[in-house]
Amino acid sequence: MELKDCFGFDTKEIVAIIGSGGKTTTMEYLARSFPDERVLMGTTTKIKFPSKEKFDYYWEENHENQVAKDGVTLVGQINEVMGKFGSLPQARLTSLFKKFDKVFLEADGSKRLLLKGWKEFEPVIPEETTMTLGLIPITSLGLTIDEEHIHRLSELLKLTTANKGSVVTAKVLAQIITHSDGLFGKAKGKKVLGICQVDDEESFISAVTVAELLPKDFLEKLDRIVALSGQQGAGKIIWEK
């Protein structure tokens, strides 16, 4: 199934993409999937500046007077000190949402590592968000749980029964997903779990295994679970309400 069709997007949607590996690829693909609509792409944190083919327009200043057009509009500001692309002040960013049909925001940071734990100030999800897409990369299975592979290791260990030096299992991923301070701890709007980097049949089977470990009371909080590949622009709905 084409990836954009996996989420049940409404005509108007404000999507916050959180988690670890796969956020940028997924955001950029989804933003490009609605060429006949006005799409805002941006971040509430700091990311690498997107390559020019990923967007059509860049609103760097005078945001309030800009007119949204069909295509992808990148909104934000360059942090010269850090060499990163960052968010506008949140009130200014959210005031622009009404100009667009779809908004896709990278709303979490993971230092380019496959898994992470969360501090109390993360992720940064606007109140106006209508869907939170939480991503967990299936390629993290088998990784050693240490500082080399995990962003905010001490915070992640609080979410699981795993120990430093052990390996990531399907059970560990399920615990990260379901813990009250885990992936969806600050989610707003509809909650969609995206098990990402699912690029072949073996990884799809692993994604299903993780989904089957999620308890019923947690599933009731979700809208759906999607196994997806941002690179391939494809996905499959594993479970939906």
Here the CATH number for the domain that contains residue 32 is 3.40.50
**Domain presence at residue 95:** yes
**Domain presence at residue 55:** yes
Strand ranges inside the chain, DSSP E: 13-19, 38-43, 46-47, 57-59, 71-75, 77-79, 84-86, 102-106, 115-116, 131-137, 150-151, 190-196, 224-229, 234-240
Q: What pTM did the predictor assign?
A: 0.96
**Domain presence at residue 5:** no
> What are all long-range contacts of 58-65, with beta carbons under 8 Å and residues at least 24 apart?
59/96, 63/88, 63/92, 63/96, 64/95, 64/96
- pLDDT band at residue 61, thresholds of 50, 70 and 90? confident
Confidence check: pLDDT of 35 > 90: yes
**Domain presence at residue 121:** yes
The predicted pLDDT at position 232 comes to 94
The predicted pLDDT at position 229 comes to 96
**Domain presence at residue 80:** yes
**Domain presence at residue 2:** no
pLDDT in tens, 230-240: 989 999 999 99
The predicted pLDDT at position 14 comes to 99
The predicted pLDDT at position 227 comes to 99
The predicted pLDDT at position 21 comes to 87
Domain of residue 82 covers 10-240
**Domain presence at residue 109:** yes
Overall average pLDDT of the 80-87 stretch: 80
- pLDDT band at residue 80, thresholds of 50, 70 and 90? low
pLDDT in tens, 143-167: 999 999 999 999 999 999 999 999 9
Average pLDDT score, the chain: 96
pLDDT in tens, 175-197: 999 999 999 999 999 999 999 99
pLDDT in tens, 199-226: 999 999 999 999 999 999 999 999 999 9
CA distance 235 to 1: 5
**Domain presence at residue 4:** no
Task: Report how many domains make up the chain.
Answer: 1
